[in-house]
Amino acid sequence: MTPGIQKTMAISGAAFVLLLFPAIIMTGLLPPISPMRTANEIAVFWSTNTGLKRVGLVLLLAASGLQAPFGALLAIRIRQMDAGRHSPLAYMQLVGTGLAVVAIIMPTFAFAAASYRPERDPQITQALNDLGWLPFVMNWPAATIQCLAIGFAIFGAVHEIWPRWLGYFNVWCGFIFAAGGLVVLFKDGVFAWNGLLAFWMVAVFFGLWFLIMAWQLWVSVAAPEGNSAASAAPETARSQSQQ
């Protein structure tokens, strides 16, 4: 794999965030509509600015796929850290990435259905709105699986490709992302799908995680793939940490 392709795959993680958040804003999902709104209010929301909202959803769908190359490169880094052994953590990472793509796609379709027929019964639109928002915020395993796979790969690394603080950062992010998992219990307050802790805190660190991992993937592109060269990488890492 050429460094150019690797760099493109690394950048796709940052591109995902840079496309995701504008798409969310275009669709009108930021700030999130309160779960306390009535069916009529939600129907009015989905039947105004429909053009912009639908284009936003198209972009949201496009963004979701950018996680695939990014996640695949993460899995390769896990294999490099685990050099020469079976790497179950790399497969765990790939499963997580697959789920993460679905985690964006699925709510996007529900939102698309909500905006598709403004003339229909508001109760149905409310149900579709719920069907979009609940998985959108609640679906934490996809991200947490990846964080834990990367974190434990760094802790147990044979070849030190990434610094250990990045492992702790990943494990910590894994817990943060889980904060959205309880939104089904709340319609109001900080743990509801529009709440400070379930939505805003997770959204901020979700974005940051992609940017930080894209940066770390980018700077580790030089880390060679072959065995002979791979053994040289830890040496450089060590000499850096001694300074």
Residues that bind other proteins (CB under 8 A): 163-169, 171-172, 175-176, 182, 185-186, 189-191, 196-197, 201, 238, 241-242
Six token digits for residue 40: 């009529």
119 or 165: CB nearest other proteins: 165
| Residue 188 Cβ vs other proteins, minimum distance, rounded to whole Å | 9
Burial class (CB in 10 A: 0-12, 13-18, 19+), 219: exposed
58 or 208: CB nearest other proteins: 208
The Cα diameter of the chain in Å comes to 67
| Residue 115 Cβ vs other proteins, minimum distance, rounded to whole Å | 31
Six token digits for residue 192: 């509801």
Sign of CA dihedral 88, 92, 93, 95: positive
| Residue 28 Cβ vs other proteins, minimum distance, rounded to whole Å | 25
47 or 220: CB nearest other proteins: 220
51 or 185: CB nearest other proteins: 185
d(CA 25, CA 51): 13
16 or 169: CB nearest other proteins: 169
| Residue 229 Cβ vs other proteins, minimum distance, rounded to whole Å | 20
Six token digits for residue 190: 């900080």
| Residue 66 Cβ vs other proteins, minimum distance, rounded to whole Å | 26
DSSP state of 121: -
| Residue 167 Cβ vs other proteins, minimum distance, rounded to whole Å | 6
d(CA 103, CA 185): 20
Task: Report the candidate in 88, 98, 90, 85 with the shortest Cα–Cα distance to residue 74.
Answer: 90
- Alpha-carbon distances of 69 from 15, 22, 36, 42, 111, rounded to whole Å: 11, 21, 38, 36, 25
Contacts of 227 (CB under 8 A, 6+ apart): 83, 84
